Structure 1
Amino acid sequence: MSSDFKNNPLNDPLSNNIYLQALNSAKSGIIITDNRQQDNPIIYCNRAFEEISGYSHNEIIGHNCRFLQSQDRGQEERQIIKKAIKEGEECKVEIRNYRKNGSLFWNELIISPVKDDEDNVTHFIGVQNDITLRKKAENELREEKSSVEKKILERTKELQENHAFLSSIIETVRESLLVLDVDYRVLSANSHFLTSFKVTQEETVGKILFELGNHQWDIMLLKQLLTKILPTNNPVIDFEVEHDFPYIGKKIMLLNAYRIEFEGQYKDRILLAIEDITEKKEIDRRKDDFLSIASHELKTPLTTIKGFTQLLERMIPEGSSEKFITTLQKVSLNVDRLNNLISELLDTSKIQSGNIEIHKEPFKIDKIIHEAVDNLALASPSHNISVNSDTNATILGDELQITQVLNNLVSNAIKYSPGSSQIDVYCNRVGNFIRISVTDYGMGISQQDQKKIFERFFRVRDIQKKFPGMGIGLYICQEIIQNHEGTLWVESEIGNGSTFNFTLPIQKI
C-alpha cells in the first residue's frame, strides 16, 4: 500500500486526478487522516462522506474523526479504534455516529494504516458505510417474538394511548401546533393556533397547509424543506416567515417541523410548531440600535480622554509622587480597556447590520501568528506562550481581522487559565486549509456551555462571576472566520483546559 500511495497518486497529476474522481464516485464514505500531525486531523474526504455525515467539506477538514460521535463517547468501539491507531493496525467496527442535524446513524467503519518505506504510519484511510437500515431491520427481527394476535391487540392499544397522549400535548402546549399528513393536509390544530390566528377548526382542519389564510405558508423553500422530513427525517429548524397575515396583520413567525413517531407509529405525520417572534425581533432591533448609537456616542469623548491621558503621561512633572504616576497609569489602562469594549460593541453592531467590511489581501499566516504572540507575551510575562507555526502558507483575507481573532483567543487562554502559565499555539496544513489551535490548561468548558459559547452575549455562569466581560469576543471571532470561509470550534473538558481551533483556506497559486 505504501508504494502505491506514495508513487502513483501523489506524484502523477493525471493519475492523482483519476484517483480523486474514483474516490468521489464511490458509494462508501472515504476519509484520509494525517498521522504525522497533531491529533491525526482529516485532510481529505469524498462526496459520499459529506452526504453520509451531513457536513460540508470545509466543516470536516481539520477535525479529528471523533467529532462524529458528538457526546456519545462511552462506546467500547472508540477504544478499539484508539488502540488500532496507536498500534498502526487495521480494524473494523460498527459504531454510532451523528449527522450535522443531530440524527443518529450506524456506521460500519474500516480503518487501514498507510506506511512509508521505513514502516512508519503516515496516514490512515477510513472507509465508512451507513448500515442504519440493516441495524433497524435486525432490531425489528429481534422484537418479533410475540404472536400476531397479541401484537395486533398491543399495537391497537398503543395507538389509542399515543393518539390520546399526542392530542393532550397539542392542546396544552402554549405554542401554535399543527399535525399534517403525508399530503400536508391539516389533521389537527391546537387551541393556541386557532386563537393566535383568529381562525376556526372548519377553516383549518382538512385543508392543505399551503392554502390556509391568504396562502401565507405557500413558500417554495418551505415546501422543499417539508418534503425532506418524512423520507429522510430531516427536520425544519427555525424557518422564518414574515407576512401580512389575515386578521392579525404583519407578523414574523418562526417555524419548526418534525416527523412524529411513537414507537413505530405515526410515521407519516408531521408536527409543525409556529412561534410568533415579532416582539422579540423588535426588541433585538432596538437593542442593536441602542448598541450602535451608544458605541458611537461613547467613542468620541473616549478618544478625547485618551488624548489628554497620553498628553499627561508625556508631561509628568519631575519629582511627581509614585501614587500620582501609578494613578495615571491605571487611568490609561482602563481607558484602553473601555476602548476595546466599545470597539467590540461596534463590531457586533456592524455584524448584525451586515456592514462589516473585509479587505482581503494576501498575507503570510506564520508572520502574523508570531507577531500577535510576541505582543501578547510582552503584556503577560507571567505566561509562557509557545508557538509552532512553519507552514509558509499564504492566506487571502483581512490581516487585521485574523489578527483580532488570534489576539482574542490567546487573550482568553491567558485570562481563563489563572492556575496555569502554559499556552500552546499550533498551526499546520490540513489539505487546502491551515488549522490554528490555541490550547490552555485552565478551567475548561462544559459540554452544555460549548454549544452556546459562540452566541452573542453568552457567558458561562461560573466564569461570569469571576472574570469581567460582555460575551461578544467569540461571537465576533466566529463571524470573522465564517466570512473567510473557515470554521471555528472548541474542544474542552472541565478541569483539563480548552483548545480553540479554526481553519482558513490557503490561497491557490
Structure 2
Amino acid sequence: MANENVLLVTKDPEIGNQLNLLSPTEYTFTFVRDTESALSLVHSQEFEVVIVENSDNSESVFTIIEVLRSFNPTTYVILINVGSDLDFVHRSIRKGVSDFLIPPITSDQILDAVRVGITRKNNLLQWMKKQPFSTSVSTPVGRKIKELESLGRSVTASLDIDHIFTVVVDAAVKLTNAEEGSLLILDEDSGELQMRAARNFQEEFVRTFRLPIKNTLAGEVIRRGIPITINEKTPQKIKTMYLVRALLYVPLKIQGRVIGVLGVDNRESSQSFTKEQLSLVSTLADYAATAIENARLYRNTEVERQKLDSILTQIEDGVIVTDNDYRIVLVNRTAKNMFNLNEKEVIGKPLEDVFQHEVLTSIFTTKHDELPFRSEIELEDGYILNTHLVEIPEVGLAATMQDISYFRELDRIKSEFVNTVSHDLRSPLTAILGYVELITKVGEVNEQQRAFIKRVQISVRYITDLINDLLELGRIEAGFDTRREHVPLDVIVKYAIDDVKNQIGDYEHTISLEIKHDVPDVVGDPIRLRQVVDNLLSNAVRYTPNGGQIMVRLKHEGSQVILQVEDSGVGIPYVDQSYIFDRFYRGGNVPENVPGSGLGLAIVKSIVESHQGRVWVESRPGEGSCFTVVLPVPGS
C-alpha cells in the first residue's frame, strides 16, 4: 500500500526529525513552517491528515483549514493547541478541526493521532463506496454522513467526558432511529461494565447498572473487539435486565484496546438495524473513543498540573518555564511578584513581550556553552536574584530564582566589619613587630629568648599577611580596582615563573612552560592578573612534594585565552572541590606544616570574575590538581 501523506505545519523541526526516525515507511511526512508554504502544498497535493500548530491564536490557522475543506472535505485535521482560549477552540471546531493535541506532546502521540485519523477517514470512504445511492446532502444518507462528520468534530473537540458520553449516545439513537441507547465503559478495577450515559432509560437504573463481562453480549464485544447485532422478532433477554427485539453493540477502541461498548436497541419495534446503520455507529464509536481518551489524558494532565501549580505556588523560589521558541509555558506566583506581573495571563506569549528585563531574557535566549547555567539578576528595586537555568527535554527551558538580597547585605556588612577590623589591627601589629625586633638591639638574649622572639615575629607576619589578603579581597569585591588596559598575559606568566624558580629553594621542583603562538592580549589590571598567576603558582609549589612536576600552559581558543597551572601534588579531596574557592577554606588533606590562610584561591576567583572570566579546578587526590582560568579576548 502506498504511503499515506501527512502535512505538518509547525515551527519546531525537531518534531519532524523524530517522526521520520520513528516511522520511515508507514507515512510520508511533509514539513512546513508557515501558512504560505502550507497553502501552496494543499493546492498541489492531496493529504490524508494535516497537523497544524497553533502557537499564537493566529487567523492563518483558519485559512489553512478552510482551504483544506474546500479541496477535500474528508481530510482529517489535527490542531496542536497551544494556549488557546475557549472561543478559539469553538471556532476551530466550526471550521472543521477533527482532533486536538495538547502540549507537551511526544512524537508517539502525534503518530497515534495520525493513525486514528487515517483509519477513520478510510472507514468512511469505504462505506461511502459501498452505497448504491447518492451521498449528496440532499439525500437522507448524505445528510446523516454530514451530520456524523459534524458530530465527530464536536465530540473530539470536547474535553468534558460526561458531555461526550451524553452527546455520543444521543447521536447514536438519532442516526439509527433507535428507541434506546447506552454507553458502557469498562471499569478496570472491578472488571465490570458501568453504564455512563443512556437515552430513554430510567435515571436510577443508569446510576446503579453494572454488567459482568463473562457470559454477556457486551462482554463478548469487549473480548473480541467486534460489533454484535440481534435482529430477532422474539424479544431476547441479554443479561441487561431488560428485553429487546433488536440490538446493536459496537466496541470503543483506542490503539487496539477496547475500553467500552456503544449500544442502541429497540424494545417495542421489530425494526432491525441495517449494515449502513452499523457502519455509522461504528464510525461514531471511533470518534467517541478518541474523544474519551483525549478527555481522560486532559483530565490526568490537569490533575498533575494542578498539583504542580499548588507546589509552585507555595514555594518561595520564582519559576519560569518556556518552550524552545521562548514562549511562556509556566510562571509561578513568586516569579510574577518578583517582576510585578500581577495576575495577568502570560501563558503562550513570547518571553520578551512579558518580561521587560534585558538580563532575564538574555539568560534564556543566549546559547550557553553548557547547562545548567547560573547567573544573577538585579531588579530595579535593588533585589538580587540568584538564577539557575536548566533544560527540560521535550519542553524547553526552566529558570529558578532565589532572592539572595538578604545574604548579599549580610556579606556586605561582614566585609565592612572585616575591613574595619583589619585596618585597626595593622597599627598595633606593626608596633608589636617593631618592638620585638628592638629587643635584640638593647641587650643580649639567650637562645631560648631568641626562639621566643622568632615565634612572635612569625606569628605577627602571618597575621599581617592575613590582614593584607583580607583587605585585598575587600577592595577587589568592592570594585575599587577599575584600572583596565591591554595586558600581554604571556609576559606576565614568564616573569612569574622566573620569580618562582628563584624562590623554590629546596623544593627541587621542575617547572615547565608551554605557550601557544599568537596568544592575544587581554584587557585587565596587570597587577591583579599577576596576582592570579602568583597565587596559583605558589599553591602548586607548596602543595607538591619535593621533586614534583609543575606545568603551566597558555593558549588561545576562539574568543578566549586559557591559562592552566597543573601540578603533581597531593590533590584535593572530591568533597572539598566545591568549596575550595571559598574564604578561609582549606582541603582536609593539607599537611600541617604547609602554611596558608585559605584566602589565596578566593582572591583568584574574585579577580578572574571581575575580569568577566571563569576559574575551576580538576583534581584527583594523590595525583595532583589542574587549575584553569578562562579570560575573554577584547572584542569577543
**TM-score (structure 2 length as normaliser):** 0.44
Q: CA deviation at 1:337?
A: 1.0
Q: Quote the Cα distance in structure 2 between the aligned partners of 1:289 and 1:463.
A: 30
SS at match of 2:548: strand
Confirm or deny that 1:307 pairs with 2:434: yes
> Contact 2:551–2:566 at 8 Å: present in 1 too?
yes
2:510 alignment partner AA: S
Confirm or deny that 1:437 pairs with 2:565: yes
1:386-444 deviation digits (Å, cap 9, x = unpaired): 22348699988866545543443344335445xx3233233455359684524032143
Confirm or deny that 1:222 pairs with 2:360: yes
The 1:277/1:398 distance shift into structure 2, 3 A limit, reads: closer
Q: CA deviation at 1:489?
A: 3.8
> Contact 2:477–2:606 at 8 Å: present in 1 too?
no
The 1:218/1:436 distance shift into structure 2, 3 A limit, reads: closer
1:189 alignment partner AA: N
1:173 alignment partner AA: I
The 1:344/1:491 distance shift into structure 2, 3 A limit, reads: same
Q: Quote the Cα distance in structure 2 between the aligned partners of 1:389 and 1:197.
A: 50
> Contact 2:327–2:350 at 8 Å: present in 1 too?
no
SS at match of 2:414: helix
- Equivalent of residue 384 in structure 1, options 500, 505, 508: 508
Confirm or deny that 1:240 pairs with 2:408: no
Q: Quote the Cα distance in structure 1 between the aligned partners of 2:350 and 2:492.
A: 56
The 1:452/1:285 distance shift into structure 2, 3 A limit, reads: same
SS at match of 1:336: helix
Q: Quote the Cα distance in structure 2 between the aligned partners of 1:427 and 1:386.
A: 11
1:220-271 deviation digits (Å, cap 9, x = unpaired): 3433444569x99977743423334xxxxx644445555655xx4xx26x65
1:208-230 deviation digits (Å, cap 9, x = unpaired): 89999xx995223433444569x
> Contact 1:216–1:243 at 8 Å: present in 2 too?
no
1:302 alignment partner AA: L
For residue 369 of structure 1, what is the aligned residue in structure 2?
497
Q: Quote the Cα distance in structure 2 between the aligned partners of 1:358 and 1:199.
A: 38
For residue 342 of structure 1, what is the aligned residue in structure 2?
467
Confirm or deny that 1:174 pairs with 2:313: no
For residue 204 of structure 1, what is the aligned residue in structure 2?
343
2:317 alignment partner AA: E
> Contact 2:318–2:400 at 8 Å: present in 1 too?
yes
SS at match of 1:388: strand
Q: How many residues align?
A: 350
Q: CA deviation at 1:165?
A: 4.8
1:372 alignment partner AA: V
Q: Quote the Cα distance in structure 2 between the aligned partners of 1:232 and 1:436.
A: 19
Q: CA deviation at 1:179?
A: 5.6
1:302-349 deviation digits (Å, cap 9, x = unpaired): 222222233335x2744x321111111111111111111111101110
Q: Quote the Cα distance in structure 1 between the aligned partners of 2:347 and 2:302.
A: 25
For residue 477 of structure 1, what is the aligned residue in structure 2?
604
2:358 alignment partner AA: M
The 1:368/1:260 distance shift into structure 2, 3 A limit, reads: closer
Q: Quote the Cα distance in structure 2 between the aligned partners of 1:156 and 1:302.
A: 74
For residue 74 of structure 2, what is the aligned residue in structure 1?
none
> Contact 2:562–2:631 at 8 Å: present in 1 too?
yes
1:363-391 deviation digits (Å, cap 9, x = unpaired): 5643431222322x23xx3x322223486
The 1:221/1:306 distance shift into structure 2, 3 A limit, reads: same
- Equivalent of residue 414 in structure 2, options 271, 275, 287: 287
- Equivalent of residue 493 in structure 1, options 609, 612, 620: 620
Q: Quote the Cα distance in structure 2 between the aligned partners of 1:386 and 1:404.
A: 21
SS at match of 2:581: coil
For residue 156 of structure 1, what is the aligned residue in structure 2?
297
The 1:185/1:205 distance shift into structure 2, 3 A limit, reads: farther
The 1:492/1:166 distance shift into structure 2, 3 A limit, reads: same
The 1:350/1:139 distance shift into structure 2, 3 A limit, reads: farther
1:435-482 deviation digits (Å, cap 9, x = unpaired): 452403214342x64344334455446659997755321121234456
Q: Quote the Cα distance in structure 1 between the aligned partners of 2:612 and 2:321.
A: 39
The 1:358/1:392 distance shift into structure 2, 3 A limit, reads: farther
Tell me, which stretches of 5 or more residues in structure 2 are unaligned?
1-13, 25-106, 116-253, 257-289
Higher-Rg member (1/2):
2
2:551 alignment partner AA: Y
Q: Quote the Cα distance in structure 2 between the aligned partners of 1:387 and 1:233.
A: 33
What does 1:351-430 align with in structure 2 at a 5 Å threshold? 351-356=476-481, 365-375=493-503, 377-378=504-505, 381=506, 383-389=507-513, 401=528, 404-417=531-544, 420-428=545-553, 430=555
SS at match of 1:243: coil
Stretch deviating more after TM superposition (149-158 or 400-409): 149-158
1:386 alignment partner AA: T
1:79-129 deviation digits (Å, cap 9, x = unpaired): xxxxxxxxxxxxxxxxxxxxxxxxxxxxxxxxxxxxxxxxxxxxxxxxxxx
Tell me, which stretches of 5 or more residues in structure 1 are unaligned?
1-131, 245-249
User: Relative contact order: is structure 1 or structure 2 higher (C-alpha 8 Å, sep ≥ 6)?
Assistant: 1
1:170-225 deviation digits (Å, cap 9, x = unpaired): 144333445667786685634x668x77999xx4152589999xx99522343344
Confirm or deny that 1:189 pairs with 2:328: no
2:414 alignment partner AA: K
Q: Quote the Cα distance in structure 2 between the aligned partners of 1:487 and 1:274.
A: 22
SS at match of 1:169: helix
**TM-score (structure 1 length as normaliser):** 0.53
Q: CA deviation at 1:293?
A: 1.3
Q: Quote the Cα distance in structure 1 between the aligned partners of 2:632 and 2:373.
A: 30
Q: Quote the Cα distance in structure 2 between the aligned partners of 1:138 and 1:232.
A: 29
C-alpha root-mean-square deviation of aligned residues, in Å? 5.2
Q: Quote the Cα distance in structure 1 between the aligned partners of 2:428 and 2:532.
A: 27
